[in-house]
Amino acid sequence: MTPKALTISQFFFKKRLHLTLLVLILGLAYVVSSIGLGFQTTALFHAQDGLIWLLHNFIPNAESMRYWQDIGHQLVRTFLIAVTSTTCAAVISLFLAALGANTLSLNNAVTWFIRGFSSLMRNIPIVAWAMILLFSFKQNDLTGFLALFFMTMGFLTRAFMETIEDFGMDKIEALQATGANYLQVIFQGLLPEIAAALLSWVLYMIENNVRDATLVGLLTGTGIGFIFDLYFKGMRYGAAGLVVLAVIILVVGVEVISNLIGRLIE
Amino acid sequence: MIKPEKQLTIPTPTAKGPQFKMPVKLKDRRRVTIYLTLLVLAYLTMVTLPTMLPDHLNLKTASLTFLQNIQIMFFHPGLSNTTFVQLIQALLESILLAFLTTLIGSVIAFVLALVSFRQLVPAWVGLAIQSFMALIRAIPNVLWVLIYSVVFGLGANAAVIGLTFHSVAYLTKVYTDSMEELEPDAIETMRAMGLKNGPIIRQALVPNFIPSYLSWTFIRFEINFADAVAVGAAAGAGGIGYQLFMASSFYFNFHEVGVIVYLILVFAILLEIASYHLRKRVMGNQ
């Protein structure tokens, strides 16, 4: 019995056939979804129009400079809320993750409950959080804080749980063999070793929340998102450009600092 | 009796009693950085938290109404202003939006990642592209869509183009990072064999890159779906996000919000499970 061997030309023919089929299927999916949405592909070639418009209208002029103080104030508030919501969420997430991680948990039901809870928290769209909170907490910073807090809690709980599970069972068992109890295992063994990993997750979430804070602000009428909306809809494009500039400075600044810290704790 | 030339002496340590001093390494850069960062974060939180409480708000009643609304949402979902078919259509619209922006984004980002691949082009090209991408990512998604909805008018064109910006910027960064995982030696070897850039890309770079390409693109699809929902609400770009916005801030109908949130949740959790299995399979193959 001879094994079925492909000749070289057959091999390449098959490879090309697969590639062609893949491109065809994706192309077809593209066309179908474009029609379904009403998207015109020609718009892609006009993408530069937006950038030109941006550069043309959004350059802050002398007149918009008087908004600088308002914008600066809101920028600092937005940053503080992004940081505060992350740290508060991180404390609770760490607690939940320590209870729910597979390697530490005493009970499977607890693990599944915490997993489900964190999945629920992060998959409820932030729009829904913002809207429900807006209805009861009204238009203020607390609403934005809580919306970011709930979502961050969902993300960090999963991230922390995975970090703890990556720590492995062996070290925990070794510590337990020396007579360490649950709390000692966590505080003497686990936390010192995974602190750097946890901190980099926290920094990543702060970066993310600074970005999302604009969106939440737009929806709930607070912070930097709100004043952007105000200037943008009032056609004060110079001032809106100043807001965009401020957001860019903040996001890039946070990114640079967090990269720096990330490199120091590596 | 034969005596060894050198007699072995075993020094017996004298007990000093328990030591209470812990060695503190202040020069430990890692530890100091972690402590300082935590300290700064804790300080900022402590300063900010008290200022957040608004003056004219009864925290207790606010929390109670919030819990009530949550209860209505999750335990009494129902429709009154729209039909279920309409909502499914809107959900489909958001999924299509996420799909299109991911597809367009991944094609453009793939080309850009190749162009900025450090081992094939001069370093400044890569640096220029990466900086430009960082700039794009620094402007929030909603703002891109809002800007394009002024230029193109409100609609699918503005939504797709606006969301594609972040898609391209994110994917270019992660694609370049995973391409750089290929050993520089491998490329040098192929160079020595006389291969040009074209075959190196087709025969070494791309096959090596496919697993991470798949998992990153799928992760971006998840993010794009969440973004599509958010942008639909904040910029009026349509889809399920717009329905969510209308139900919650126009009709104040939390029964309807419940149905919409359930629909989004089901799809988002399905995506998460799919993404988890994809990553597991991809990692298993490596």
User: In the prediction, which pLDDT does B27 show?
Assistant: 59
Instruction: Tell me which residue has tokens 């109890």.
Output: A181
**Whether the complex's predicted ipTM surpasses the cut of 0.95:** no
Burial letters for B232-265: b for 16+ Cβ neighbours within 10 Å, e otherwise?
bbbbbbbbbbbbbbbbbbeeebbbbbbbbbebbb
A68 vs B257: CA distance, rounded Å:
38
Q: How far apart are alpha carbons B253 and B69 in whole angstroms?
A: 10
Kindly report the nearest CA distance between residue B2 and chain A, in angstroms: 46
Residue of B nearest to A214 (CA): B140
The per-residue pLDDT for range A167-177, each reduced to its tens digit, is 878 888 888 88
CATH, residue A176: 1.10.3720.10
Which helix (DSSP H) or strand (DSSP E) does residue A124 occupy? none
**Measured distance CA(B152)–CA(B154) in Å, rounded:** 7
Question: Which residue type sits at A81?
Answer: I
CA distance B5 to chain A (A): 43
The reply to whether A163 falls in a domain is yes
Residue B38 tokens read as 């935590």
**For residue B148, what is the nearest residue in chain A, using CA coordinates?**
A50
> Mean pLDDT across chain A, nearest whole number?
86
Alpha carbon distance A88, A117 (integer Å): 17
Note the pLDDT of residue B235: 78
Of the candidates B269, B229, B45, the one whose C-alpha atom is nearest the C-alpha of residue A202 is B45
Return d(Cα A250, Cα B224) in angstroms, integer.
23
Query: Considering the domain boundaries, does residue A214 fall inside one?
Result: yes
Confidence of residue B284 (pLDDT cuts 50, 70, 90): low
- Token representation of residue A149: 């807090």
- Average the pLDDT over each of A193-207, B67-81, B100-114 and give the range with the smallest value: B67-81
Give CA separation, B81 vs A133, B13, B40, B90, in Å.
22, 85, 49, 14
Measured between CB atoms, which of B66, B156, B269 is closest to A132?
B66
In angstroms, rounded to a whole number, what is the distance separating the alpha carbons of residues A137 and A144? 10
CA distance B8 to chain A (A): 34
Q: Chain centroid to CA B141: how far? A: 13
| Domain-located, residue A2 | no
What contacts B127, CB < 8 A, 6 or more positions away? none
Second-level CATH architecture of B79-285: Orthogonal Bundle (1.10)
Q: Range of A247's domain?
A: 68-264
Chain B residues touching residue A119 (CB < 8 angstroms)? 269, 272
Question: What pLDDT was estimated at residue B224?
Answer: 93
Identify the three-state secondary structure at position B9. coil
Token pair, residue B283, equals: 């990692």
Cβ neighbour number for residue B15 with a 10 Å cutoff: 6
Q: Are B269 and A119 inside 8 Å of each other by CB?
A: yes
pLDDT at A68: 83
Beta strands in chain A (DSSP E): none
Q: What is the pLDDT of residues B161-197, one digit of tens each?
A: 989 999 999 999 999 988 888 777 888 888 888 888 7
CA distance B86 to A20: 36
pTM: 0.85
Task: Give the pLDDT score at B185.
Answer: 82
As a whole number of angstroms, the distance between CA B36 and CA B32 comes to: 6
Compare CB distances from A199 to B37, B92, B99 and report the shortest one's residue. B37
Nearest to B265 among A123, A138, A145 (CB): A123
Instruction: Spell out the long-range contacts of B63-71 with Cβ–Cβ below 8 A and sequence spacing 24 or more.
Output: B63/A136, B65/A135, B65/A136, B66/A132, B66/A133, B66/A135, B66/A136, B66/A137, B69/A132, B69/A135, B69/A136, B69/B254, B70/A132
pLDDT of residue B14: 65
Residues of chain A with pLDDT under 50: 1
Question: What secondary structure does DSSP assign to B122-147, as a single string?
Answer: -HHHHHHHHHHHHHHHHS-HHHHHHH
Q: Which of B95, B142, B222, B265 to mutate to test the interface with A (most CBs of A within 10 A)?
A: B142
CA distance B59 to B66: 10
- pLDDT at site B69: 85
d(CA B197, CA B191): 8
Cα(A236)–Cα(A22) distance, integer angstroms: 48
pLDDT band with cut points at 50, 70 and 90 for residue B38? very high
Instruction: Give kind and range of the element (H or E) at residue B195.
Output: none
Say what the pLDDT of residue B110 is. Answer: 93
For residue B239, give the nearest of B119, B60, B105, B101 by alpha carbon. B101
pLDDT in tens, B203-246: 778 888 888 888 889 989 999 999 999 888 877 777 888 888 88
Query: Is residue B259 a contact partner of residue B77, using CB atoms and an 8 Å limit?
Result: yes
Out of A26, A132, A248, name the one closest to residue B70 (CB).
Answer: A132
Preferred mutation among A136, A202, A214, A247 to probe B, highest tally of B CBs within 10 A? A136
Work out the widest C-alpha separation in chain B, in whole angstroms: 109
Under an 8 A CB cutoff, do A135 and B146 touch?
Answer: no
Q: Do B57 and A137 touch (CB under 8 A)?
A: yes
A-B contacts at Cβ under 8 angstroms: 194
- Only one residue has tokens 């697993």, namely B211
Half-sphere exposure of A191 (CA within 13 A, CB side): 14
B286 in helix, strand or coil? coil
pLDDT of residue B112: 92
Residue B168's pLDDT is what?
95
| Residue B12: predicted pLDDT | 67
Distances (CA, A) of A259 to A12, A203, A256, B28: 45, 9, 5, 19
Q: How far is CA A169 from the centre of its chain?
A: 29
CB–CB of A50 and B161 under 8 A? yes
Total structural domains within chain A? 1
